[in-house]
Amino acid sequence: MLNETFALNRALDRAGIALPPNHPHIKTPASSSGPVIKICLNVKGAIVRCEGVVKENHDRLWTYLPGGTSGGSFPVIRIAEPLWMVPEKHEESRRAKLSPSEHRATLREALKSASPRPFSKKTLGMLVRLRDRAQKLANVLEGVEEDISIVRQLCDAYARVVPESSKGIPPLLTNLRNYARQWLEDCDDMELDALDVLLFTASSNSNKKKAQLALDVDDIDSTIYHAGAKERVTRLFLGHDARHTPSTVKSVSRSEPVCAYGGAIALQAEPFPKVKVPVLGEVPLFSMNADAECNQRYHRAGHELLPVSRQLVLDMQDSLEEIVRELREGKTWRRIASEKPNGSDLLIVYVDGQPDISADVADLFGADTDTKGKQFSVVASTVCQALDGVRQQTPDCRLGLFILRKASKGQAFVALSETPSIEEVIEGTEWWQEAAANIPLGAPMDAHVISLPISDKPKERKWLRPSAPSPGQVTALLIEAQKKRSKKQRGAAFGEVLDLMLQRHNKAQAAAGHILSLCLQHAGHLLCGLGECQGRGKGDRWKAYISEDRRIALRTVSAIGIALYTLGSRKEAYMNEAAFQVGRVLALADRLHRCYCVVVRESSMPRHLIGNAAFNAALDSPEKALAILAERIRIYQGWGETVKWRSGEDEESKAIRIAKKTLSRYKPLVEKLHQQGIPNSCTDLMRAHLMLGYLAKEEDEEKPKGEDK
């Protein structure tokens, strides 16, 4: 991802955004693994007090972590083993949900029968190795007269309570084990969970929480984790590196390596740093495994394979960390569905030279509009308005867009990299919304409408019509389609949907055909089932489709409309074509059959209504399906023509009136089909038309009632 982060760095530089200093060895500890407890040591290394660190203050913590996590970090250290062993009889009581007073009493009781836990060689060895890291940290901070100099005091205190040998338990752990018992009586209610993890929580399961200890000095008025401390330590490390690396080389021979991005300066002489990004965790800017046979032909790996100046590497790291800051979610980054089964990708989007525009640009491409309560059209309007302002100032401005995907633990790669122009994005967004409306949406434009009842809350349901989905939502639909077909196959790439949105003439047609095919294969059964639910009116069949299923159906209908629009099939034409009319015939047959069952069979419904029973056959051969339907519908048609009209408000009277209205539409439709000619086989375009016709209904048709019963 070096090329992408290099371009990002230049974009931020052109925008005049000052990046906070970062050093690959100075990190903010991960807070997801468990609670953080601050342990304050005096000059002799004795524990003076403990306190829990609230999550809001985690960003002030910093730690020295060179060469990956395997060697441990300092002064924030992770103890993977609990301090005490608890008899099995106390485990069940500790797992229950307890009030603070009950929790404290349970911990006291457990401590009475607890025994000291023997620590593993791994933990003891890690604590000993941290002496070296503490010493290196102290050396870098040597001679510093500002308040960060107290870090040296902490390093010295740590050396006093952790011997150079891993034989025996270090005094630090012994002191902590004893002090934790005392802390149980003094800690507040909010700190009980952290203390529980430290004292007792077993770590045999890798998913268990593990306590992190943030070592600090014993000074009420000072702390090594004060605001700005991480930045000061980072600057000191950067200055130390500058003093201990070769100066800039002004002239070199052809055999000497130079930076791949220009300039003959001091190169990166160690593995490229890892950057903690949302969704994926820590990923290196660049890496290549030297042990992999396919890489051995180069005789180089990692930083040796690609020479880049050390300063530029740090700038790239800073740029990536800046663009994925938490407050930028939705603006410059967001999670999207991954082609990799059961995975998520990280989408990064920025405006070259103006990455700080207020609009949610990233949400334009992957917004979860349903869950965020925002329609894509609203997001699109805001973003396009902001982008238009940028275009007026800088006509040639472009968007930087790339997707990072996890390859394996600690490894990621660029799955897609694009630089569309602002004009392409604005025009593509407008086209996308126009294409999404290429379906029956009802008055004032259409005589038919597609809508489904959605229940977000019990007893609160509303009828929703399809609306424009985001490109990310279409991608998610297609990926799910491939999962249904084979877990080994992958769905359509986000880039394919982007080709469609930006109407790239050499790719859009192929993308539309593929997307239409996947939608039909994946959602055909869902759309068929929901169409029959509409034909049945009320009944238990609706319970088989939760609200999310119905939302997926609406998004699929919109995606089908977009694909049809790209392929030149417009609703003004296809709604008058044979395949769409066949779908309407099947839907009307369902309604007539349902009315017959209400009156004649006392509301006893068969497993499938006759239109739905012929639906799958119609997808292959409409002519054969309608021939079978014509034989089966005669009894219901005859009943509808001869049954007497009733004016009452009971269910049977209503059913009779609906049956007669249905027949008044059914007969002319069948006659029109015979005049047009009923196709003997179906293409994907015709199957899409048939599905839309089956789902569509005239707006004066009675809406189903009781669908959530």
Given the structure tokens 């955004």, which residue do they identify? 17
Given the structure tokens 């929580």, which residue do they identify? 201
Go through 391-423 and write b for each residue having 16 or more CB atoms within 10 A of its CB, e for each that does not: beeeeebbbbbbbbbbeeeeebeebbebebbbe
pLDDT (average), residues 552-563: 94
Q: Which two tokens stand for residue 375?
A: 């329609």
Beta strands in 313-447 (DSSP E): 333-337, 344-351, 399-408, 411-418
Q: How many CB atoms lie within 10 A of CB 165?
A: 9
Share of the chain above pLDDT 90, in %: 37
Mean pLDDT of the chain: 84
Q: What's the pLDDT score for residue 506? A: 81
Q: What's the pLDDT score for residue 556? A: 94
Res 118 pLDDT > 80: yes
3-state secondary structure of 1: coil
CA–CA dist 103, 101 (Å, integer): 5
Sign of CA dihedral 67, 71, 77, 82: positive
Share of the chain above pLDDT 70, in %: 85
CB 108 within 8 A of CB 94: no
Q: Which residue, among 596, 562, 560, 595, has the nearest Cα to 579 in the 3D structure?
A: 560
Q: Is 524 exposed, middle or buried (0-12, 13-18, 19+ CB in 10 A)?
A: middle
- Cα distances from 114 to residues 82, 167, 197, 200, in angstroms, run 11, 24, 14, 9
Which amino acid would we find at residue 534? Q
Q: Which two tokens stand for residue 106?
A: 């349970």
How many Cα atoms within 13 Å fall on the side-chain side of residue 673? 24
CA–CA dist 190, 18 (Å, integer): 38
pLDDT (average), residues 671-692: 92
Q: What's the pLDDT score for residue 508? A: 93
CA–CA dist 547, 224 (Å, integer): 51
Q: Which two tokens stand for residue 192?
A: 């009980």
CA–CA dist 655, 649 (Å, integer): 10
pLDDT (average), residues 123-150: 84
Query: Count of residues for the chain?
Result: 709
3-state secondary structure of 70: coil
Which amino acid would we find at residue 62? W
How many Cα atoms within 13 Å fall on the side-chain side of residue 678? 20
Res 490 pLDDT > 50: no
CA–CA dist 124, 271 (Å, integer): 27
Q: What's the pLDDT score for residue 96? A: 58
CB proximity list for 411: less than 8 A, separation 6 or greater:
283, 284, 287
The domain segmentation of the chain, as residue ranges, is: 2-22+245-324, 31-240, 571-698
Q: Which two tokens stand for residue 388?
A: 């238009």
Least confident of 42-46, 77-81, 576-580, 700-704: 700-704
Angle value at C-alpha 258, between 399 and 313, nearest 5 degrees: 45
Q: For the CA atoms of the chain, what is the radius of gyration? A: 33
Confidence at 69, pLDDT banded by 50, 70, 90: low
Q: Are strands 115-116 and 63-64 parallel, antiparallel or unpaired?
A: unpaired
Q: Is 211 exposed, middle or buried (0-12, 13-18, 19+ CB in 10 A)?
A: buried
CB 514 within 8 A of CB 469: no
Q: What's the pLDDT score for residue 88? A: 61
Q: Which two tokens stand for residue 345?
A: 């990708």
Q: What's the pLDDT score for residue 300? A: 67
Tens of pLDDT, residue by residue over 365-381, are 986 644 455 688 999 99
Q: Which residue, among 613, 454, 605, 456, has the nearest Cα to 539 in the 3D structure?
A: 605
CB 157 within 8 A of CB 48: no
Q: What's the pLDDT score for residue 103? A: 84
Res 24 pLDDT > 50: yes
CA–CA dist 526, 545 (Å, integer): 9
Q: At what angle do helices 547-566 and 471-485 cross, to 10 degrees?
A: 100
Res 681 pLDDT > 80: yes
Whole-model pTM: value is 0.77
